Amino acid sequence: MSTVTLTLENAIAVITINNPPINATSHAVRSGIVDALDQIDGNDDIRAAILICDGKTFIAGADVSEFGQPPKAPILPDVIKRIEAATKPFIAAIHGHALGGGLEVALGCHYRIADSTAKLGLPEVNLGLIPGAGGTTRLPRLIPVSEAVSMITSGKPISATKANEIGLLDAITHGALGDAARDFAKTILSRGTPAWLLARDPIDAPSSAQWDDITSATKKKARGQVAPLAAISAIRNGIEHGPDAGLDFEREKFIELRDSDQSKALRHIFFAERSVAKLPELKGVEPNPIHQVGVIGGGIMGAGIATASLLAGFDVTIIERDEAACDNGRATVEKHIAGSLKRGLISQDRFDALMASLSTSIDYAALSHADLVVEAVFEDMAVKHDVFGKLSLHCKADAVLASNTSYLDINEIASRCINPQRVIGLHFFSPAHIMKLLEVVRTKSADAQSLATAFEFARALGKIAVPCGVCDGFIGNRIMSAYRKHCEYMLEDGALPDQIDAAMVEFGFPMGLFAMQDMAGLEISWATRKRLAPFRDPAERYVALGDYLCEMGRFGKKNGLGWYHYDDNGKAQPDPEVDALVIAESAKKGITRRDFTSTEILDVILGAMRSEGDKILAEGIANNADAIDVVMVNGYGFPRHKGGPMFMTGNED
C-alpha cells in the first residue's frame, strides 16, 4: 500500500496516511499530501476532504531518520500552508497521538475531530526545539493563549476531552473515527471553507505585564533550558506582529535551536533512552510470560515495586515477616494507588480491581506460581541469603529471582541459590512507582531468558531499563559515591555546603548534593560508614564531617538540622554552626582553605563523574557511555539538557 492514498466518496475526499509505526511526516508523506491536494483542488465534484491515518495513531512526530539532513521539499510548513489554502474544507480525523508536526498538520486543517482516547501535544521543547511548522502562531488563534503557552512550553500532551473543552477540537467521538469524520464532513458541506486560522485574532492575548509574568514563571520552570523561553517569544511575536512575521520568526528560532548544544544534548538522551535496553545478545530470546509477581518486603521500596507491578496489570503477592508488616505493606500500596485515583489517573472500579489483585502472606508457599520475584528486604547479606534460600525452595524452576539491593554483591547472592542462572538484580529508585529508571543487573550466572524476562517486566512497568554488571553501587550509586567524595574534599579545601549546592542548582540539578543528603537522612550512610570503618584504606583521604553531624544529632531535614538548618517552612538555611565545623576541620588537618568558583566546583564534580564513568566502562559494568548518561539523567537529577556527564565531557565510546 502506498504511503498516502486518496479515495473519493461522492463529494468527500479521504486522504489516508500509512507510514508505520507513527505515520511520521517523512518526505513520502509530505509529497503524498501535496499530490492529493493537487487532485482535490482540481476536482470540482469534491466539496470536503478528510485527513486520516492507518495503524495505531495519527501523525505522531517527525521522521527521525531525516534528522540532521538537509530538508527536502516540500517542507512541512509549506505543506501545511497548502492545506490551509485549499479551496475545500479539510477535516483532520485524529486517533492515537497527534504530536509535534502531526498536531501542526491538524492545525492547518479547517476542522479537527478526534477519537475520545486520543492525545494531542507539541512536545518539541523536550528535544530543545519549538514547533517549527506554525504551531506557535496557529495554536493561540484557536485556543486561549494561556492554554497554548502551557501546551508548548511544557511539551505535555493533553487528552481529547481537554482539547475539546478548550476549542482545539470541533468534535470527539466514542465510535468509529472514520464514520464520525464522514458524518461530520456531511454537516459542513453547506458551510464552505472557514476563515484561515491565521486570519483570526488570538484568543485572550496577554498584556505586557502578563507576558512578563508568563516569562518569569516559564524561566523558573525551565531551569536553564532555552527552548521554553524561545517558545514564549515566538508565541508573543506571532500575536504582536501578525501571523506572517510570526511564522518567519518561529522558523528562524526553530533552526537556531535545532543547531544548539541543548537540542543536541536532548536528542542524545532521547535516543540513548530508546536504545539502551536493546541488547544484541537477547535478540530473538523469548521472555517467560509474567502473570504473578512476588515482592519480598513491604517497606519503602517493596511497596513501591508492588504498586508499579499492580499498575502494570500483574497480580502481586507481598511476603513480609509478620501479619502487622503485611498490613503495613498493603496500607502503603493502597495509599500510593489512592494517589492515582485522586489525581484522576484511574477510576474507582480500577482502584478496587487493583487492590483485589494484591495479596500478602508470611508464607513463601504463596509464591509457588510467581513468575518473577523482587526481593526488597533489609540491606543485610545474611537476610538476603535467607530469603533467596526460601525462594529457591518455593518458586517454580523458571521464576526469575531479582534483588533490589543497593550495594550488596548479587553474584554472591546467586552463588548460594539452587538455580543461579535465574538470579539477577533489579535496582529500582525511590519512589519505585514513580521513578522511571531501573538498573537491570546481570549476574555472572544469569541466563539470557531470565534477562529477557526482566527487560520485558521493565517494559511493562514503563521503566527505562539500563543493563549493568555487578559492582559496588552499580552505575548510578557508584558515580554518586565518587563525586560525593570529591564534594567532601572541597569542603575541607575551602568550599561550604551551600556554595557547592548553589553551583549544582545553577548548573541545572534540582537540588545540591548536601540538600539531597539532608532529605534522604544522614544516619543510614553513617551506619554504613561505621560498618565499613574496619575495612577502610588508612592511606585514603577520609572526610569525617558527615559523621560529626550525626554525632551532634543532626540527621537531616526530618529533625530540622543536617548540613543545613531548616526554618519553620522547611526551607534550608546555611548554618553558621556547620560552617564553623567545616572550617575547624580544615584547620585540624592543616589545610589552608581557598576559594572555589562555581565553575571550579562543577569542574570537580563533572571530572569525578567522568573518571568514575570511564572506570565503569573499562570494567564492562556499563555497555556504553549512553547507559551512564541515561542513569545520571533519570536517577540523579543530572540536567537533561546537558545530555549526561559522559556526553558533556566528550563522548568517547
Question: Rule CB under 6 A: which residues touch ligand NAI?
Answer: 296-302, 319-321, 325, 376-379, 383, 386-387, 404-406, 427-428, 430
| Choice between 142 and 440, CB closer to ligand NAI | 440
CA separation for the pair 542, 545 (Å, rounded): 9
- Would the CA dihedral through 374, 377, 381, 387 be positive or negative? negative
DSSP of 416-464? TSS-GGGEEEEEE-SSTTT--EEEEEEPTT--HHHHHHHHHHHHHTT-E
The residue from 9, 66, 84, 104 that is catalytic is 104
| Choice between 300 and 353, CB closer to ligand NAI | 300
DSSP of 9-38? ETTEEEEEE--TTTT---HHHHHHHHHHHH
Burial class (CB in 10 A: 0-12, 13-18, 19+), 318: buried
Distances in whole angstroms, Cα of residue 193 to Cα of each of 197, 203, 261: 11, 21, 43
| Choice between 22 and 303, CB closer to ligand NAI | 303
Q: How far is the CB of 376 from ligand NAI (least distance, A)?
A: 4
Helix (H) or strand (E) holding 316: strand 315-319
Q: How far is the CB of 378 from ligand NAI (least distance, A)?
A: 5
Using an 8 Å Cβ cutoff, are 643 and 621 in contact? no
Q: How far is the CB of 328 from ligand NAI (least distance, A)?
A: 7
CA separation for the pair 432, 238 (Å, rounded): 43
| Nine cell digits for residue 375 | 526481593
Three-state secondary-structure class, residue 315? strand
The residue from 9, 84, 124, 652 that is catalytic is 124
CA separation for the pair 438, 443 (Å, rounded): 15
> Apex CA 518: angle with CA 517 and CA 519, to 5°?
90
Residue whose C-beta lies closest to ligand NAI? 299
Q: How far is the CB of 482 from ligand NAI (least distance, A)?
A: 18
Q: How far is the CB of 364 from ligand NAI (least distance, A)?
A: 9
| Choice between 143 and 376, CB closer to ligand NAI | 376
| Choice between 449 and 525, CB closer to ligand NAI | 525
CA separation for the pair 64, 69 (Å, rounded): 10
| Choice between 375 and 575, CB closer to ligand NAI | 375
In eight-state DSSP terms, residue 290 is -
Active site residue 256: no
Alpha carbons within 13 angstroms on the beta-carbon side of residue 508 total: 17
| Choice between 427 and 610, CB closer to ligand NAI | 427
Active site residue 619: no
Q: Which of 69, 125, 81, 80 is nearest to 102 (CA)?
A: 80
Q: How far is the CB of 560 from ligand NAI (least distance, A)?
A: 21
Three-state secondary-structure class, residue 50? strand
Active-site residue list: 104, 124
